[in-house]
Chain A
Amino acid sequence: MATGAVAALRNMKVAGNSKSLEEARARVFDFFKLACRSLPSVMDIYNLDDVVTRSQLRSAIASQIRKNSHVTNTKVIDMLLFKGMEELGNIVEHHKQRHHIIGQYVLGKDGILQDLSPKDEGSSDFLKNFYSGNYF
C-alpha cells in the first residue's frame, strides 16, 4: 500500500484547472486519500512511531484541509492543492527532517507556544505573533 502511494506521488502530474467546485472537491478528497496512504512510509522515514499514531497524523492532515474549507474559488483550491501536493512530495522524498514533521504536524502550530514555562507568560505578544506567524 505504502509503496503504491509513493509511486503514485512520483508519477503525479500537475492537473489542469478544476472546471467546477465538485471537481475541485473530488480532487481534495483524492489528495487526502493519497496523503493518508503515504502515511506508513512517512512514519517509517521519520521514525514517528514512538511519537505519534497514524490516526493522529491523519487528523492533522484533515485539520489542515479543513482550515481552508471556506474557500469556494476553484482556482484558489487548485493552488492550495498544488501546495499540498508539493508539501507531501517533499515529505515523502525525505526533503525534510524529523523535527520539521514533529513541529508542524505532531505538535501543531500551538505546540511551541504551549510549551512555554510559566515565567514566560509576560513575554511580549509581538514575539508570540512572530513565532506563530513565522512557523510554516
Chain B
Amino acid sequence: MALRAAVLRHIRVPVQTLGLKSNPRAPSGSIRLMSSHDDHLSKEEVADRVLSVVKSFPKVDPSRVTPEVHFQKDLGLDSLDSVEIVMALEEEFKLEIPDKEADKIDSCNLAIEYIHNHPLAS
C-alpha cells in the first residue's frame, strides 16, 4: 500500500486539453441541447418556482407568500412543515439538499438563494 501511494503521488499523466476548437463538429454557440448540466436557472425563474411550490403547500395562504416570507414566523408553519417544504423544493428542482443546509433554509429568500447557487438545480 505504501509503495502504491508513493508511486501514485509521483506519477502524472499528461492530459491533453481537447478544446472546442479541435472538434470541428462542436456547435459554435453556447447552447448545448440535451446536455444536462448546462441549464443554469435565472434568479427570476428560481424565485417563481420556489414561490409556486410554497403557495401550493396546503397549509399556506397563497396571498401571503412573498419572496421575503419566513416559513415559521410569517406563515405560521411549524418545523415539520418547513422540512416538508424543503422536501417539496428538492423534488421540484431535482436536488438533494444535505441536512446541514436544509436546516438553514427557513425562508423563501434563503431557499431561492441556495437553489440559485446550486449547480445541479434544474
Binding site for B on A (CB under 8 A): 1, 4, 29-30, 32-33, 36-37, 54-55, 58-59, 62, 65-66, 69
Contact = CB atoms under 8 A, between A and B. Distances in A.
Contact of A59 (B58, B79, B99): B58
Contacts of A55: 56-57, 88, 91
Interface residues on B, range: 10 to 19
B121 interface: no
Contact of A62 (B80, B96, B99): B80
Given A29-B80, A37-B96, A58-B88, 20 more contacts: A1-B96, A4-B96, A29-B79, A29-B99, A30-B99, A32-B80, A32-B84, A33-B83, A36-B84, A36-B87, A54-B91, A55-B57, A55-B88, A58-B84, A58-B87, A62-B81, A62-B84, A65-B80, A66-B80, A69-B80
B41 interface: no
6 contacts: A4-B96, A33-B102, A36-B84, A37-B87, A58-B88, A65-B80
A33 B102 CA distance: 10
Nearest to B59: A59
B58 to A, nearest CB: 6
Is chain B's binding surface mostly helix, strand, loop or mixed? helix
Interface of B: 56-58, 79-81, 83-84, 87-88, 90-91, 94, 96, 99, 102
A84 B107 CA distance: 29
Contacts of B99: 29-30, 33
A55 B60 CA distance: 14
Contacts of B96: 1, 4, 37
Contacts of A4: 96
B7 to A, nearest CB: 33
Nearest to A5: B96
